[in-house]
A and B are shown apart, each in its own frame.
Chain A
């Protein structure tokens, strides 16, 4: 647990906020795909912490970012926090995205606020592994888009889809991935995805049919965040349940069953 000072908490798109924290332990050790377990209030209501993927860290400045969408009580409390206030957080927790072998083309598929951990991933792929690839991003509409220029700054080419067609192609980012893989059959690629369950399910299908490895970041309601309460179960392909907080949140697509 650490107490982290809020440096910045501002709207980056419709109902989407960027929160920057001074958190040297997180900045030092975090890997893309790991998450922070955040206490939104001091008292016992809401009772549980809220998990958020790490969207970036700046080691030199000792800061870590999360990007969150306001969907309910916890996130709306968060959105009212001001710089200078202190947030109680646990983390970095969980298992992040593995880096691919040299020469592999990373294909990133993000939906909505699920784009957040993929920003940090793109940074690591580009700066540490020297790999640049493609990002297929989907949002419900133009006003909710964010992060495209970040991917571009890491040398990724970005394709966009929106459900209502207000920006990019009308439809879903998985269609963009499918189109790309149809046109580039022989490419040695690896897919990284985060977003709604339907997106993950589709990515899993596409990757399997093309014989490409895929890593998915899953969500489940969390209690402890460290594997003690067994609350965040996801069905394992081998039978029984894996825990999103401890065994994930990033899983190889074949490890888990996404209904």
Chain B
């Protein structure tokens, strides 16, 4: 028997496989397809202070082994979330991590404040990395100072552990990770989507109204892995790794590179059961490798040559 449980940011997960924000709605959508309580944790769609209607269509475009999205954080706002989504989420038997986003530091602060009485939230994931909105979003994750400020503000308001979700669209992600660690983040999630674009050759125009969109899926995996590997060496707080995880092998790569837990996003569109298959695959892998705890695998790829 392999012990699949992991502890990150003070939360105990029965296994290290969560779903990535924005790909799983508010869990209810998928509850008809499988038992979401089998997941390590559920992460909600990003919530903003006020409702947001999102970007005009098209919002999705497929690329080789990837997906561009320009959803633009459509969400019911924090009040709508509390009224319509939380009653379902609070009864789940798995940790629920609420992803939040804002245009100003003050907005992040106020969402965190508004969520703070909700008993049962396991952690806040602070999205300072959304590439699909006009203001705020990714801008915060581009500079260590602003990343620090947002995380600090949320940390001050929130009784819950705080996870900072970082953007890959930076020249040195370690700087940002160090800044959020210093601000008190209990963990980091990486990566959010990579900025990309597509051109419609018939219309001779960018596919997306906002021109750039966020790339996810297997196409970004090598970059995501590299960033997890880099950040693992830079910070002490645990890492939640994501970006193109489609099978157990991908998940193992992230764990060996330094992720304590992983999140599955775009793969769910292709196969809603992907997270569950990955959990089983991880268990088999650990068994084959004579590990009694999945956490014994974290960061093994960093051993120096002498140990190989």
Q: A residues within 8 Å of B by Cβ?
A: 1, 39, 44-49, 88, 90, 220-235, 239-241
Contacts and interface: CB of A to CB of B under 8 A. Distances in A.
Contacts of A241: 53-54, 56-57, 74
Nearest to A227: B29
Contacts of B69: 223, 229, 231
Contacts of A1: 33, 271-273
B272 A48 contact: no
A223 B30 contact: no
Nearest to A223: B269
Given A88-B271, A230-B59, A230-B71, 8 more contacts: A1-B272, A47-B269, A222-B60, A223-B269, A224-B25, A228-B268, A229-B22, A231-B71
A229 B269 contact: yes
Contacts of B65: 44-45, 47
Nearest to A222: B60
Given A1-B33, A46-B62, A227 B25 contact: yes
B61 interface: yes
Nearest to A37: B269
Q: SS class of chain A's interface: helix, strand, loop or mixed?
A: loop
Nearest to B274: A44
Interface string B252-275: 000000000000001111111100
Contacts of A224: 23, 25, 29, 268-269, 272
Contact of A233 (B33, B45, B57, B267): B57
Interface in B260-307: 266-273
B71 A229 contact: yes
A39 B270 contact: yes
A228 B30 contact: yes
Q: SS class of chain B's interface: helix, strand, loop or mixed?
A: loop
B60 A232 contact: yes
B24 interface: yes
B23 A229 contact: yes
Contacts of A239: 53
A233 B70 CA distance: 11
A231 B59 contact: yes
Given A223-B269, A230-B71, A48 B62 contact: yes
Contacts of A235: 56-57
B61 A221 contact: yes
A49 B59 contact: no
A48 B62 CA distance: 7
Nearest to B52: A240
B54 A233 contact: yes
B87 interface: no
A220 B54 contact: no
Nearest to B67: A47
Contacts of B66: 47
Nearest to B59: A231
Interface in B65-79: 65-67, 69, 71, 74
A49 B270 CA distance: 6
Nearest to A233: B57
Given A220-B57, A228-B24, A229-B22, A44 B29 contact: no
B218 interface: yes
A221 B33 CA distance: 21
Contacts of B55: 233
B23 A90 contact: no
Given A1-B33, A230-B74, A223 B67 contact: yes
A222 to B, nearest CB: 7
A233 B74 contact: yes
A208 to B, nearest CB: 22
